[in-house]
Structure 1
Amino acid sequence: MTLRREPVLLAVSSAAPDTTIGQTELFDGFYSQLYSGVPHARRLFIDSTRVQRRHFYWDPRRAYSDGFPPTGALMDAWEQGALELGRRVVPAVLAGHDPATVGTFIMVSTTGYTCPGPEVRLAAELGLRSDIRRISIGHMGCYAAITGLRTALDALAARPDELVLVVCTELTSMHCQPDAISEQIIVQGLFGDASAAMLLGTRPADRPVGHPTTDHPSAGAPACGVSADVVATRTVTHPGTAEHMRIRVQEDGFRLCMSPAVPAMLGSTTPPFVDQLLEGSGLGVADVRHWAIHPGGPRIVAEVGAALGLSEAQLRPSMEVLRDYGNCSSATVLLVLQRMLALDRPEAGDHAVLIAFGPGLTTEAALLRF
């Protein structure tokens, strides 16, 4: 009889571009001129976002000094940046594992597109198998890391003796738009650049999950072992809400629209969604000690946290990542997971929920057990 195997999150890693710019410095050095005709632009850009610094592959102060490049130039730059960050996150997350055991490579991004994608060159450069199964998950938004996670679970169900690599790379800095409106000021004040990776495998069902490693780095550090069972995942898309958050690819690049109604909507829809995620686990919200909530903005974290009755300490990983990185689209929830591991140091038997939101409006989540 073949012993059933359970999916396990084995490691996470992250990297960000070396250029770090403080929010005030960035506004004064570039955006103050771009938004000079908008009342309260400085308050919207700095105070309302709660971001203090971000990492940029393209420094807006130089990249847009001579105008705004067309979409083709943006995609060329995205590919090069995705390769550079991938060369850092993939070796880190694979440390201690045989690359030949990785059977599936899932590449996630909302901020760029090339065919073939950067995962083809990364696989070749980093010694992954030539017969590796490649999956590209594109243009799904900030929740797509969890889309990548549940796609990995499907691969593990079919081939439990292999490992699955998931890489989320987002370079939002090349999607600046000149529209001098309040919505775009907040968007340009929120988003930053980063890459994050997960490695998943399986364990025999009769063997308990290993303890998480004790030397958890913070978000942005090379890698850390996790050893967490993936207990459940869940997805929901709310009908009639698509226009509240959307991304369109146009001649002059990508355009993101985000309604100010989104935080309140997520505050009302998230508690019943989490109840459904936890259904069958024997857990209630109060039983989950650790939370990695995607910081789409400070109001989203505040509304969702209040609706779930979470403490300031439970929201701290999300708010610290927002402060230090901004919203890095799909990579962000994995940055929060790394920060959560560093701050909370989960113990064996603890549970965590990873939850992210994006266009649709769509919510995705995963329940982990350490």
Structure 2
Amino acid sequence: MSVKLLETAAPRITGVGTAVPTTTYTQQELLDEFDITDPRVRSVFLNSAIERRGLTLPPLLPEGSRGTESQGDLLRKHLSHGLSMGREAVEACLKAANATLADVRYLCCVTTTGLLTPGFSALLIKDLGIDRHCSRLDVVGMGCNAGLNALTAVAGWANAHPGELALMVCVEVCSAVYVFDGTMRSSVVNSLFGDGAAAVAVLSPGDAPQTAKESRPLPGGATGPGLLRFSSCIIPEAVDAMRYDWDDSHGKYSFYLDPEVPYVVGAHAGMSLDRLLEGTGLRPSDINHWVVHSGGKKVIDSVRLNLGLTRHDVRHTTGVLRDHGNLSSGSFLFSYERLIADGCVRPGDFGVLMTMGPGSTVEMALVRW
């Protein structure tokens, strides 16, 4: 299959927008907030390559310590802060896409930090005043890789409805899944994740909505990239390596990360890339831009080593990790936004989007500007 054939009628990314909480903390500030003195835990926080993260911490008690939140409290946090960030991300995305809420025909919402019925898609349609006939989809519980899983569905819908605008919104209130118990299991998770939302607009060729007929040019003179193809690689033998399950001792859900995750993901990165490029005539050296999920320092290093990437190739991924931590399903869109703002993309450039998460799974997409 030639690259030219792949580009025929490919849906295009026309805009992206992100949002984070107004409250942010350095790693040292978090250690101080919770009076953490265990040297092992402190080392995990301070050697994470993360400088600051947006979080919504438990409420302060009269004596100055942080309270303990019930599962109900955490779910309410997921709902209120998720809606707020999701709204902000959508509005920023539509502005970047030179579109309005009236143009939205499909809304896909992604989250792993809480279970709501109805989900964020219905809630955002009501909150933003999107047309009641807007088609929608909620992708819940897939984890950090879910952004690309959902983007596959969004691209498929856009292909079937040329000229109609589709939106995907990743809403992750990671502080709504934190458990504070001093164990290494919880501490690794608490040292890594941050709150954030990211939205992306997708449009297939055809008669675009009136307000979006002329796409806003991206920095460097390039237009939004076409989504040429996707690949997926699940690693069944590592199905328990990343889990969000019920913790009886605390009476709430908690997340678990196996220490071997970076190496498992890295070992399968090359296989996933081969699958993505199979039949296109492209080689890894033909890829100009890499947008990788900011899963953590060790994960990024393992992927970089296994794919032969330079530090420059993943500069936006490490920058997002440094400034926001792991934002779960929306992390790669934060990196994509930085790539576009960098002004380095040119017409004809190829890019690879990559996410990793529970399953264990490696997801990839091939794009071209």
Question: TM-score when scaled to structure 2?
Answer: 0.89
Residues 141 and 329, structure 1, Cα contact 8 Å, conserved in 2 = yes
Does structure 1 conserve the Cα–Cα contact (< 8 Å) formed by 2:58 and 2:68? no
Q: Indicate the SS of the match to 1:148.
A: helix
Describe the shift of the 1:344–1:266 C-alpha distance in structure 2 as closer, same or farther (beyond 3 A).
farther
| Match status 1:62 vs 2:60 | yes
Conserved 8 A contact 1:22-1:54? yes
Q: Which residue of 1 aligns with 2:327?
A: 328
Match of 2:245 among 245, 248, 255: 248
Name the counterpart of 2:42. 42
Identity among equivalent positions (%) equals 32
CA pair 19-233 structure 1, distance change in 2 beyond 3 A: same
1:222: which partner in 2? none
The question of whether the paired residues in 2 share the 8 Å contact of 1:91 and 1:126 is answered with no
8 Å CA contact 1:357–1:364 kept in 2: the answer is yes
**In 2 relative to 1, CA 331–194 (structure 1 residues): closer, same or farther, beyond 3 Å?**
same
Higher strand share: 1
Does the CA contact (< 8 Å) of 2:113 and 2:172 recur in 1? yes
| 2:75 counterpart residue number | 75
- Unpaired stretches in structure 1, ≥5 consecutive residues: 217-224
Out of 124, 141, 144, the residue aligned to residue 142 of structure 1 is 144
Give the match for residue 284 of structure 1.
283
**Matched-pair contact (CA < 8 Å) for 2:268–2:362:** no
Change (3 A) 1:317 1:160: same
SS at match of 2:224: strand
Corresponding residue for residue 227 of structure 1: 224
Counterpart amino acid of residue 59 in structure 1: L
1:14 and 1:62 mapped to 2: Cα distance?
Answer: 28
CA shift, 1:75, in A, is: 1.1
Amino acid at match of 1:143: N
Cα distance, 1:212 vs structure 2: 5.0
Partner amino acid, structure 1, of 2:78: W
Q: Which residue of 1 aligns with 2:218?
A: 213
Aligned to 2:125: 123
The letter for the 1-side match of 2:174 is T
Match of 2:368 in 1: 369
Q: For 1:74, what is the secondary structure of its paired residue?
A: helix
Structure 1 position 87, deviation (Å): 2.1
Q: How far has the Cα of 1:166 moved from its partner? A: 0.5
The number of residue pairs the alignment matches comes to 350
Q: Tell me the alpha carbon deviations over residues 202-261 of structure 1, each in whole angstroms, 9 at most, x when there is no partner.
A: 125xxxx98951189xxxxxxxx9511001111111121111111114573321111111
Q: Is the 8 A contact 1:210 1:228 kept in 2?
A: no
Which amino acid letter does the alignment assign opposite residue 214 of structure 1?
A: P
Mean alpha-carbon deviation: is it higher for 10-19 or for 249-258? 249-258
**Cα offset, 1:68, TM superposition:** 2.4
Over 3 Å counting, the alpha-carbon distance change for 1:54 and 1:226 in structure 2 is: farther
Residues 29 and 109 of structure 1: CA distance in aligned 2, closer, same or farther (over 3 Å): same
Deviation at 1:367, TM superposition (A): 0.9
Q: Do the aligned partners of residues 65 and 269 (structure 1) sit closer, same or farther apart at CA in structure 2, a change above 3 Å counting?
A: same
| SS of corresponding position for 1:227 | coil
Distance 1:333 1:165 in 2: 16
How far does residue 287 in structure 1 lie from its aligned partner after superposition?
0.9
1:25 is matched with 29
Q: Whole-Å Cα distance in 2 between the matches of residues 344 and 360 of structure 1?
A: 35
Which structure 2 residue ranges, 5 or more long, are not aligned? 1-7, 207-213
Q: Which amino acid aligns with 1:213?
A: L
1:297-341 residue CA offsets vs partner (Å, 9 max, x unmatched):
101100110111111111111111000000011111111111222
Q: Give the partner amino acid of 1:90.
A: V
Q: Distance in 2 between matches of 1:283 and 1:31?
A: 52
Residue deviations 1:268-315, cap 9 Å, x none?
Answer: 110111011011222111110111111211011001101111111111
What CA distance in whole angstroms lies between the structure 2 residues aligned with 1:39 and 1:22?
17
8 A contact 1:142–1:357 mirrored in 2: yes
Partner of 2:52: 53
The whole-number CA distance in structure 2 between the counterparts of 1:146 and 1:102 is: 20
Deviations 1:125-146 (A, max 9, x none): 3232111111110010001111
Distance 1:289 1:121, change over 3 A: same
**Partner of 1:200 in structure 2?**
202
Task: Tell me, in whole angstroms, the C-alpha distance in 1 between the residues paired with 2:189 and 2:65.
Answer: 19
Deviation of 1:117 after TM superposition, in Å, equals 2.1
Report 1:85-164 matches (<5 A). Answer: 85-95=85-95, 96-164=98-166
Q: Distance in 1 between matches of 2:288 and 2:9?
A: 26
SS of structure 2 residue aligned to 1:282: coil
Q: 1:118 to 1:351 in 2, by over 3 A?
A: same
Q: Contact 2:245–2:255 at 8 Å: present in 1 too?
A: yes
User: What is the rounded CA distance, in whole Å, between the counterparts of 1:160 and 1:189 in structure 2?
Assistant: 43
1:166 maps to 168
Cα 1:279/1:62, change in 2 over 3 Å: farther
Whichever residue aligns with residue 354 of structure 1, its letter is L
